[in-house]
Amino acid sequence: MSSPTHDALRTPVWAPPAGKPPLPSRLMRATWRNLPARRHDVGLEAGTVVPAADGSPLITDHYFPRAAGDFPTLVVRSPYGRGLPWSPMYGVLFAEQGFHVILQSCRGTGGSGGRFGSWRNEAADGRATVSWLREQPWFNGTLGTIGPSYLGYVQWALALDPPPELKAMVVQVGLHDPHAFFHAGGALNLENALVSGVGMAYQHQGLAPMLKATLRLQRRLREITTARPLRGAHAAVFGEVPWLDDAMTSTDADDPHWLGTSMAEAAERPGVPVGLVTGWHDALLDQTLEQYGRLRRAGRETALLVGPWTHTSAFQRGWPEVFAESLAWLRAHLCDDPSGLRPTSVRVHVGGHDAWRDLDDWPLSPATASWFPAPDGHLIRQAPTDAAPLASFRYDPADPTPSVGGPLLSRGAGARDNGALEAREDVLTFTGPPLTEPVDVLGPVSARLSVSTDTGHADVFARLCDVDAQGRSTNVCDGLVRLRTTGQAPTRVTVPMSATAHRFAAGHRIRWQISGGAHPRYARNPGTGESPVDATDFVPVRITLHADSELMLPRRQPTS
């Protein structure tokens, strides 16, 4: 055994500075309820400069427990600044529970040097931060990462070549593939692209500039999203943003713009245990479910929590569950305390039932129930005998079918009343009979559509809705695919409609909604084959649905 004198010489004595967390962070902390009791008072060492690999200064705040002891470290790297809400949610709350927390502004944001090149520098800058940590007297060699959205992406970037100190990750509503965020089914995720652009351009500047920019976007959203051409129209709200222009116009995943930006490979090989958190109406739900599948196939230790949340509400009304899940995962893997872990790999919230369900895996490979469209707007279980035209509608990009609810980053996300939408002439609905017993749908939902068009260029948007006993139609999940048809012959296309865990109660009805778009969530299809970013001329299209179309629902036996 080493002598005390030798230990003192080997390990520098770290004297905690006297700083406290900012007053707004302490006030925000005081508003939260149903969180674990505080274990330690919290100190702050603000504005430390961490050198990136190229020497650029990365401005970093260090939160720490004001207590003697050996504590693990969490790294939180963000392009959104180091103030609210990151300071209280990560710096204060996790330091209270016994972690050093490094809250760092990505290069080119929040006072850090260099130029913010979205997606380009996170792996190298993350490794440089770990190299700096190794020189700190309070760092005990045990490291974890945590954070949502882009803060999840920087974790995957570090995990491509994980340092030996990295023992756990918690990716909350996070992404690994930027292209899939901006483009889905061949269409531009327009509204989410604009909201993310505002966040990255303004949030690191402080709360007031961010709120002003958000309000400007809300006021001028229609003006921007209906501009002809669409390219550059957002500059009126937040100026020239070259990376956003490139992201919106680089439609093809093989475009050089996206080369090296996907971090999917980080989840495909043995490595660090990863806890995942998302919501059924999160804009990054599909990416999180893909991450879980990749981790499981690679034999990685992982857990998945899916709540009744949007991208933002997971950190509002969902924060007690999200924080508890994240804290339990970090304590288990950084502090050798598995007492807070749940016994199953997956926990999902079942919508329509308002209950949580623990599962051994996701998806569970359940049996699939097929429903078919029928004349007069019926949805039936009996397969059709032919592929005859069944119903048609006219989609006009000059008066695009609006988006209602769903996985948005902005206000209005989530489950919403679809009544006004379904009253439009450019929306088809097929509705099943009142259910005599509950039906649980757990897993990925999809539609096989047989469609023809008169112009050859169209989008098809498919949505699953729950119609209650009063006739209110509420969206459950959905998806869109851009297609090219030839002649009048029908084209077969599969529309992935994301995934869900939802109970259709007895007396409710299952509804299948079909339209030619959802604007401004998706950029409208001009009907000409031209890029929707550059199009100035629009051509309406008539879309015809054929009887051999099919809605596929993953069924599970209801539980109490």
546: part of which helix (H) or strand (E)? strand 541-546
Same fold, 16-141 and 368-556: no
What pLDDT, on a 0 to 100 scale, did the predictor assign at position 7?
A: 37
The string of DSSP codes covering 411-436 is TT-BS-B-HHHHTSTTEEEEEPPPPS
Around Cβ 305, how many Cβ atoms within 10 Å? 26
What pLDDT, on a 0 to 100 scale, did the predictor assign at position 365?
A: 73
* Beta carbons of 131 and 141 less than 8 angstroms apart: no
Report the SS3 class of residue 145: strand
169: part of which helix (H) or strand (E)? strand 166-174
Report the SS3 class of residue 558: coil
10-residue averages of pLDDT along the chain (560 residues): 36 64 78 87 94 94 93 96 90 96 94 85 96 96 96 96 96 96 93 88 76 85 91 82 85 91 91 96 97 95 97 92 96 95 95 94 86 96 92 96 95 95 98 96 96 94 98 98 84 96 97 98 94 92 96 79
* Beta carbons of 64 and 71 less than 8 angstroms apart: yes
Q: What's the CATH number for 16-141?
A: 3.40.50.1820
Q: What's the CATH number for 368-556?
A: 2.60.120.260
What pLDDT, on a 0 to 100 scale, did the predictor assign at position 14?
A: 65
Give the residue carrying structure tokens 């949610």: 89
The string of DSSP codes covering 190-215 is HHHHHHHHHHHHHGGG-HHHHHHHHH
Q: How far is CA 176 from CA 239, 305, 320, 321, in A?
A: 27, 17, 25, 23
Q: Where are the domains of the chain?
A: 16-141, 182-257, 368-556
* Residues 6+ positions from 303 with CB-CB distance below 8 Å: 275, 276, 325, 329, 341, 342, 345, 346
Q: Is the dihedral of CA 84, 87, 89, 92 positive or negative?
A: negative
Q: How many angstroms separate the CA atoms of 464 and 478, rounded?
A: 6
Report the SS3 class of residue 358: strand
Provide the token pair at 375.
């004349």
Report the SS3 class of residue 247: helix
In one-letter notation, the amino acid at residue 125 is D
Which residue in 466, 490, 491, 488 sits closest to 476, CA to CA?
466
What pLDDT, on a 0 to 100 scale, did the predictor assign at position 200?
A: 78
Q: How many angstroms separate the CA atoms of 72 and 364, rounded?
A: 36
* Beta carbons of 277 and 151 less than 8 angstroms apart: no
